[in-house]
């Protein structure tokens, strides 16, 4: 399995993230690091900067390259491409503090649309929180976000840039594919890391910041999901891991990750609880996010269904069935369409 390097203490973090070539940065990343084989005409690729992982904490005055919303210090890699009066930024990391909202969280609250990168991955176009033209894709499990900082880049240029992405170190792919989510995730490995309250989909589900969780893999994860009658495989994807979440009011739910190769890039996330015992509310309220919503019947149950694109997803379902309340969320990819999701949803019901 993959084992990345980390700092022992937040005090070891440099004042600003250093410039590091991608091949040298990969050993410090808990995600596959991608680099473009070509860039838009008239532009050059600048050496990226690496934010190394460290335990939670802050050093006074050392704020450059740090997450503004918490004291946690997960790894990230950032590079810029510039030329002819225009510039864009690409940031890569493992989105592991919640399910990545709509599989393109940096485009939250903007109307988005997708295009296939290859026969597996898709890239999403929209507007980021700074109102910049932006794009996002999950290449295998790596979140790759792009923001136009100056000038303009056409969607065709941005799509071509994503199509030019290659692993900085191809030899690590097999190790990452053998590594479960819980062994990579900063939040799963570090119980002292503060929770982050963020949206996850088109239907509202938020966890309190004051909660505890413990991630499991293998037989322990299987026992955890079996307690709620959840399956060991879903939509052709095997159980990757599971966690029990408990907040300070005693509310409790189980979250299960189902992922599939190649490189575990396709994912379903099932969050379930005994009726009325957890943080999930059924029926759920819609999030303030553009998308399509409907009510459908699956396996005899009324289901709140939300999606962006029927060809690629992402989909979210909220339902109650057999004494269990749950929400099922899907990542986005070629082939993860409405028919596939509804079949997976029927399999999920105990």
pLDDT tens per residue, range 199-258: 999 999 988 777 889 999 999 999 999 999 999 999 999 999 999 999 989 999 999 999
Distances (CA, A) of 258 to 100, 179, 211, 298: 14, 13, 23, 20
DSSP classification of residue 73: B
DSSP classification of residue 103: G
How would you label 168-193 residue by residue, b for 16+ Cβ within 10 Å and e otherwise?
bbeebeeebbebbbbbbbbbbebeeb
SS3 159: helix
Among 189, 192, 235, 247, smallest CA distance to 216 is for 189
202, two tokens = 């088109």
Q: Average pLDDT, stretch 321-336?
A: 97
Among 136, 306, 321, smallest CA distance to 205 is for 306
Are residues 268 and 234 in contact, defined by beta-carbon separation less than 8 angstroms?
Answer: yes
pLDDT value of position 59: 77
124 pLDDT higher than 90 = yes
pLDDT tens for residues 169-185?
A: 999 999 999 999 999 99
pLDDT value of position 245: 94
Candidate from 58-67, 196-205, 252-261 with smallest mean pLDDT: 58-67
pLDDT value of position 327: 98
pLDDT value of position 63: 63
183 phi and psi, to 5 degrees? -80, -20
Radius of gyration of the chain (CA): 20
Per-residue pLDDT band for 10 (boundaries 50, 70, 90) equals very high
188, two tokens = 């799963």
pLDDT value of position 68: 66
pLDDT tens for residues 276-324?
A: 999 999 999 999 999 999 999 999 999 999 999 999 999 999 999 999 9
pLDDT value of position 62: 63
């Amino acid at each position: 399995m993959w084992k990345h390097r980390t700092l022992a203490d937040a005090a070891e973090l440099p004042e600003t993230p250093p410039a590091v070539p991608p091949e040298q940065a990969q050993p410090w990343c808990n995600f596959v690091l991608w680099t473009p084989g070509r860039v838009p005409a008239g532009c050059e690729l600048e050496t990226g900067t690496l934010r190394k992982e460290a335990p939670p904490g802050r050093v006074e005055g050392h704020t450059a390259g740090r997450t503004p919303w918490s004291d946690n210090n997960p790894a990230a890699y950032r590079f810029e491409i510039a030329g002819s009066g225009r510039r864009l930024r690409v940031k890569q990391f493992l989105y592991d503090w919640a399910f990545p909202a709509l599989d393109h969280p940096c485009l939250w609250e903007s109307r988005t649309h997708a295009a296939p990168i290859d026969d597996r991955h898709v890239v999403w176009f929209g507007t980021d929180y700074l109102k910049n033209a932006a794009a996002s894709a999950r290449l295998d499990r790596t979140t790759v976000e792009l923001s136009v900082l100056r000038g303009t880049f056409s969607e065709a240029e941005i799509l071509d840039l994503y199509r030019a992405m290659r692993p900085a170190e191809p030899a690590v792919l097999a190790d990452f594919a053998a590594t479960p989510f819980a062994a990579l995730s900063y939040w799963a490995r570090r119980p002292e890391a503060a929770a982050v309250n963020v949206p996850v989909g088109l239907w509202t589900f938020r966890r309190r910041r004051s909660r505890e969780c413990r991630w499991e893999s293998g037989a322990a994860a299987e026992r955890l999901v079996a307690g709620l009658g959840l399956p060991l495989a879903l939509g052709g994807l095997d159980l990757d891991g599971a966690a029990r979440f408990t907040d300070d009011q005693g509310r409790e739910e189980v979250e299960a990750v189902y992922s599939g190769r190649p490189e575990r890039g396709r994912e379903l996330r099932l969050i379930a609880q005994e009726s009325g015992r957890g943080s999930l509310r059924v029926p759920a309220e819609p999030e303030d996010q553009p998308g399509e919503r409907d009510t459908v019947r699956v396996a005899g149950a009324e289901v709140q269904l939300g999606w962006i694109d029927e060809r690629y997803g992402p989909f979210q379902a909220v339902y109650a069935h057999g004494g269990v309340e749950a929400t099922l969320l899907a990542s986005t990819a070629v082939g993860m369409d409405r028919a596939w999701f509804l079949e997976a949803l029927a399999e999920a019901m105990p």
